[in-house]
Amino acid sequence: MTTALPNPATDTGAGPVFDRLRRHCSPKLALTGGFAGRGAVESVAEGCRVTLSDGRTALDFGSYAVTLLGHRHPAVTAAVRAQLDAMPTSTRALANPVAAAAAARLSGYLGDALPKVHFGLNGADAVEVAVKLARLATGRPRVLAVRGAFHGKSLGALALTHSPLYRRGLLGSEVDVVHVDAEDPAAVGRETAGGRVAALVFEPVQGENGALPLPTEVLRQWCADAARDGAFVIADEIQCGLRRCGERSVALADGLPVDGVLLGKPLGGGVVPLSALLCSERLYAPLAADPFLHSATFGGHPLSCAAVPAALDAIEQLADHGESLAAQLDVLLTGLQERHPRVVRAVPGRGLLRGLDCTSPRAAGATVLELAATGLLVSPCLSRPTTVRLLPPLLTTPAQLAEAASILDSALAATERTLRTTDVGTSEGAHPDAHT
């Protein structure tokens, strides 16, 4: 594998970037970004392709699931640009028509089952408001989350995130959380029976935990038990929703009776940051009574909300293509697992949220770096360092998928050679640092 650290003396374009990151941000950001870009930095992007500062290009099957519509989708950028020229910021004293239209459109998009909408700035924000509302509406303290879950890193959301990697040194935050095991269908019923549980929060497909779909029948049982005991059920679809896994909402498509769905990541069309809680009247009741119970200066920002109708239209236009793309991706990944059994032991996931589960964290780390160096950007999994995550945009063409297939095949062969020479396959070394 050929990797080079950035050299500020010879690389005048990128060098200052790494220098500034080292001085003013985390030195590790400079290190990992330097390795991934072989000394170059990201420069411009369009669709599935990113151009680096040294002129090379890479396919983007990563971006932590934000670029479902690729980069700079023209309909989304046009909508955002029009809003930029009209009124990018809200007075917050006057009613804002752009946020109201986005809320109505989003609620209708999920079939009107969840009529209430609250916009946040990022995924963790949506988790925070859902938990707050469930606690306020029930008067109960406890929240159930699932082992392996990832719900964000702000203090409240972090309490629901399972990995000790991100909770170390921060335990004792306000939220009382119990993590239940997806192999235990009776776990939720046991917890809710005591009448202390406000909500159950789960990802129908756990993204950061290795692209792992949770068993639908277990979720069905959990939802029934939670409802029986008066606890709300919230599906966190920040990563798996909006047709990333084929459906607008995985939970609703699977017929799970949820009180709320969380959306984020590609909700702003890959152009602007935005998240949303969509929920029932009952869960939203505390906010209906007092909208200032949970508000933020930039909540429902017009620039972000302007992207919503354009993003949803574009996602729907690409839905059929996404389905056939997912089928082709499945064939490709199965073939890779068969050809590289020393590196790939499973290919979990659903739709366009897929993983290459590798034989060790170092095998996964080596593969991520080799892929980046040879023109395919992917995302590691924050909570499962053996899994390399593949998140192709809905608009990936057959030619681009073939290009990605060839890069993946060569990268896995390179990792295999590295494993043979350095025996990293059995080592539990550090995984590549990941940042969202």
Ligand X SMILES: Cc1ncc(COP(=O)(O)O)c(C=O)c1O
Which residues bind to ligand X, rule: CB under 6 A? 64, 122-124, 127, 150-152, 203, 207-208, 236, 238-239, 264, 436
The least CB distance from residue 203 to ligand X, in Å, is: 5
Task: Classify burial at 324, counting beta carbons within 10 Å of its beta carbon; exposed 0-12, middle 13-18, buried 19 or more.
Answer: exposed
The least CB distance from residue 168 to ligand X, in Å, is: 18
Q: How many CB atoms lie within 10 A of CB 97?
A: 11
Tokens describing residue 242? 């909006």
The whole-angstrom separation of Cα 32 and Cα 18 is 10
The least CB distance from residue 91 to ligand X, in Å, is: 26
Closer CB to ligand X, 11 or 236, in the complex: 236
Contacts for 279 with CB less than 8 Å, ≥ 6 apart: 114, 116, 117, 118, 130, 133, 234, 259, 260, 261
| DSSP secondary structure code for residue 25 in this structure | S
In the chain, DSSP finds a helix count (H) and a strand count (E) of 15, 18
Contact between 391 and 48 under an 8 Å Cβ cutoff? The reply is: no
- Strand duo 232-236 + 260-263: pairing: parallel
Compute the Cα dihedral for 342, 343, 346, 350 and give only its sign. negative
The least CB distance from residue 157 to ligand X, in Å, is: 7
The least CB distance from residue 10 to ligand X, in Å, is: 35
> CA separation (Å) from 168 to 29, 121, 172, 209?
20, 25, 10, 18
The least CB distance from residue 152 to ligand X, in Å, is: 3
Closer CB to ligand X, 117 or 373, in the complex: 117
Closer CB to ligand X, 53 or 383, in the complex: 383
Closer CB to ligand X, 191 or 208, in the complex: 208
The residue number with the shortest CB distance to ligand X is: 123
Closer CB to ligand X, 61 or 150, in the complex: 150
End-to-end CA, the chain? 26
Run of H or E including 202: strand 197-202
CA 347 to chain centre: 18
Nearest residue to 118 via CA among 241, 271, 369, 294 = 294
Closer CB to ligand X, 18 or 64, in the complex: 64
The least CB distance from residue 149 to ligand X, in Å, is: 8
Contact between 213 and 182 under an 8 Å Cβ cutoff? The reply is: no
The whole-angstrom separation of Cα 192 and Cα 224 is 11
Closer CB to ligand X, 208 or 225, in the complex: 208
Closer CB to ligand X, 175 or 332, in the complex: 175
The least CB distance from residue 417 to ligand X, in Å, is: 32
The least CB distance from residue 410 to ligand X, in Å, is: 29
The least CB distance from residue 206 to ligand X, in Å, is: 8
Compute the Cα dihedral for 18, 24, 28, 32 and give only its sign. negative
Contact between 18 and 4 under an 8 Å Cβ cutoff? The reply is: no
The least CB distance from residue 264 to ligand X, in Å, is: 5
Closer CB to ligand X, 14 or 214, in the complex: 214
Closer CB to ligand X, 79 or 121, in the complex: 121
Closer CB to ligand X, 208 or 247, in the complex: 208
Q: How many CB atoms lie within 10 A of CB 64?
A: 18
